[in-house]
Amino acid sequence: MTDTIADSLTRLRNALKIHKSEVFLLYSKLIFSIFKILEDKNLIAKVEIVKSELGKEIVSGEKKQSKKINNEIKVVLKYDKGVSPIRYIERVSKPGRRLYFKVKELRPVLGGHGLLIISTPVGLMTDREAREKKLGGEVICKIY
């Protein structure tokens, strides 16, 4: 897997379509930061880091327990009367085509009802925060 952000957004999108209450994602600081922004904007209920045990190895016909402890991100989804606040989520900048925008090129999504998550030199933030701080950067994803 080369694009863990796209994988995480797809897992979120699929979980929302089948109305799951929670979804588990592979851990990285970037992915955790993206979902922390979604939690701050009240688009998901909760995001937290959990430890998980993986793996059982089979050695010469007998089972050998091999416990690998990895971190995962647990995302608790939010629904209001069966409808999620997230209707659309899309990966914008991809490994094959990185998209960078200057602050003057950043436009509000759906007249300010949606948001862009942008990776700036100061860190991840929404498009509104980036315009206030006069920062541009790589557009990670679009959500509304």
Same domain flag for 78 and 117: no
Lowest average pLDDT, out of 33-37, 109-113, 126-130, 134-138, goes to: 109-113
- Answer yes or no: is pLDDT of 61 > 60: no
Same domain flag for 24 and 77: yes
Question: b/e string for 42-68 if b means 16 or more Cβ within 10 A?
Answer: ebbeebeeeeeeeeeeeeeeeeeeeee
- Answer yes or no: is pLDDT of 125 > 60: yes
Write the DSSP symbol of residue 129: H
Give the global pTM: 0.85
Same domain flag for 59 and 126: no
Q: Which residues are 116's β-sheet partners?
A: 142
Place of tokens 């991809």: 94
Band of pLDDT at residue 49, cut at 50, 70 and 90? very high
Same domain flag for 99 and 75: no
Total number of domains constituting the chain: 2
Contact (CB, 8 A) for 38 and 32: no
Same domain flag for 108 and 53: no
What is the share, in percent, of the chain residues with pLDDT greater than 70?
Answer: 89
Q: Which residues are 140's β-sheet partners?
A: none
Backbone angles phi, psi at 60, to 5 degrees: 45, 50
Chain segment 95-124, per-residue pLDDT in tens: 999 999 999 999 989 988 999 999 999 999
Same domain flag for 1 and 59: yes
What range does the domain containing 97 cover?
A: 88-144
Amino acid at 51: K
Asked which of 55, 85, 115 is the last residue of a domain, the reply is 85
Same domain flag for 140 and 127: yes
Same domain flag for 98 and 52: no
Same domain flag for 44 and 65: yes
